[in-house]
Structure 1
């Protein structure tokens, strides 16, 4: 009985998270299209901002990451992978690891 309730709660959380992600992507897509038309230089700045954040293990907005990914998925993928390699390489810095796991 407890397992069924736990499974149902997990399923509900997944559905809620999926809905939030879909809404976030929809909003980011709308902002991306607007920026393409009205401020294309901002898109390059967003990629730079994401790169700087990952390089220094600093906070960043999820929406900025989503939009940067829409601008240049390959470049942002490399940024993220390089950060993963840096943070997970021995010796592991505790502060960087905490940032990474947030």
Structure 2
């Protein structure tokens, strides 16, 4: 995908530096998300919307930065079969509430 020039009508939608939809890392992330249970997929969308809404309300870009780092880590970890099939975390076994955006018990 080529990035449009500043005077192009799609410049605001796809600014310079935009990663193509068919980028191999994006494709791998989408396969990972597609393999998640619907409740985890829904949690990702909820967390995304919360971060965007917080940014819109406050103008503080750190909401987006922190969420972006968390999302990339979550998707990459869920792409590792050993992580997906690992037994529940210690927090789960101790009856604590899981705070991960993809936690099914959170």
TM-score, normalised to structure 2, is 0.30
TM-score, normalised to structure 1, is 0.31
Q: Which structure features the higher share of helix residues? A: 1
